[in-house]
Amino acid sequence: MFDIVLKNGYILTMDENFTEYKNGYIAIKDGKIVEVGEGKEEFQAKEIIDLNSNVVIPGLINTHTHAAMTLLRGYGSDNPLKVWLEQYIWPVEGKYVSYEFVKDGTDLACYEMIRNGITCFVDMYFYENAVADSIKEAGLKGVLTTGILDFPTPGAKTPEEGIEKTKDFINQYKNDNNIFPAIGPHAPYTCSPKTLIKAMEVAIDYNVLYHIHVAETITEVEDIKNRYGTTPVKHLNNIGVLNERVLAAHMVHPTEEEIELLAEKNVKIAHCPESNLKLASGIAPVPKMVEKGVTVSIGTDGTASNDDLDLIAEASTAAKLHKGYNLNPTVLPAKQVLAMITRQAAKAILKYDRMGSIEVGKDADIVVIDVNQPHLQPLFDPYTQIIYSAKGSDVDTVIVNGKVVMKNKVVQTVDKDKVIYIAKKWREKILNA
Ligand SMILES: [Zn+2]
């Protein structure tokens, strides 16, 4: 007796061989995938979902965001980076970031992520206990980090305090099924070598991911050169914090030599093309990194610089951006880009044993895409259709750890009217700041 059986679906398992089942089924029990295949019609299950030939993919993994920043979506856009941060974002964050702000913002983000087929995300912000509470209610999964900086933050007066609080947070959630605590030193230009090294000691001692922004802008590269006489990736390597548990967001400006170093050290990348474009940070050398064997995944970044949490659209941007920039239509084919938001993303967060592909024994994190719509027909190639024709809003059903969190485009776990009402309330507060 299974808990749920999905049948009559076009299943893209996204395993290493890109195995597909054109008229396939998936059986789920106790939150795990227990059978996947085709050619079976009769099932004993508590719930049977007929997929009507819709396309099924693994749950999408957003490897870099600041979920609570949904409350700052569109605020102060189109200004120079310095003006945007100093006159808009930082003053509001300084005044309002609290448990309540983060919980409300993350609730809104969780609704949007479920709606768009995201089942797990990597977060870096403050009050991560609020993010954890929100994720639990929404039934999602997350790798959660509190931003550690050398100056006072909403959560900690010093980086030492930030690191101690992270240790407590890791201890609190280390055995949780949905929350994967990790450590988040913000960036090489906001953290001293001492902070970066201490954070890595914690990552190793507690066996968690080390999430950091690296080489996002030219300004950062110049700043690191002035301070340490070298470029950001080499700087991290020089101080001994470049290894396989590093998930580096952005990586827009690595040198050729640094790309080799990223591959050699097995560093993982969260590529954020839309944020990099909107903030005019530049274009990351993704095809080159992939060619050298670097694991590249994709993140939306926060909605203040994107401005949405649609990972399918983000992947579409990535696929087209690098073709155009390299004047080569064969770079980053759709199949490879879909892998970046599923299989490669699971590897990037060191959870490939549990997520990233539809295989027996893995978590039942499943996304059904409604391809029975005019803009998704005729269906020659499902990978192409998802990356170039679909949007997050074409996701029909989402299952996380075997639990249905969205069915027939209706989110089951987050109250849509409530998150909209609360977002409107925050708008008034922020405008009257
Ligand atoms: Zn970021």
Cβ atoms 244, 266 nearer than 8 A:
yes
**Which residues surround the ion ligand 1 when the cut-off is CB under 5 Å?**
301
Q: Domain spanning 2-58+363-411: which CATH class is it, in words? A: mainly beta
Ligand 1: centre distance to CA 232 (Å)? 16
pLDDT of residue 107: 98
Tell me the C-alpha distance between 101 and 331, whole Å.
Answer: 41
Reference 14, options 296, 422, 338, 313; nearest CA is 338
Q: What is the mean pLDDT of residues 223-250?
A: 98
Q: What is the mean pLDDT of residues 82-88?
A: 90
- Give the start-to-end residue ranges of the domains of the chain: 2-58+363-411, 60-348
Ligand 1: centre distance to CA 43 (Å)? 45
Whether 2-58+363-411 shares its CATH topology with 60-348 is answered no
Ligand 1: centre distance to CA 216 (Å)? 9
Ligand 1: centre distance to CA 123 (Å)? 9
Q: Domain spanning 60-348: which CATH class is it, in words? A: alpha beta
Ligand 1: centre distance to CA 4 (Å)? 37
Strands (DSSP E) contained in 13-109 are: 20-29, 32-38, 45-50, 55-58, 60-65
Ligand 1: centre distance to CA 65 (Å)? 6
Find the helix or strand (DSSP H, E) in which 108 lies.
helix 99-115
Please report which confidence band the pLDDT of residue 432 belongs to, taking 50, 70 and 90 as the band edges: confident
- 360-388, pLDDT tens digit by residue? 999 999 999 999 999 999 999 999 999 99
Ligand 1: centre distance to CA 1 (Å)? 44
- 173-208, pLDDT tens digit by residue? 999 999 999 999 999 999 999 999 999 999 999 999
pLDDT of residue 426: 98
- 387-430, pLDDT tens digit by residue? 999 999 999 999 999 999 999 999 999 999 999 999 999 999 99
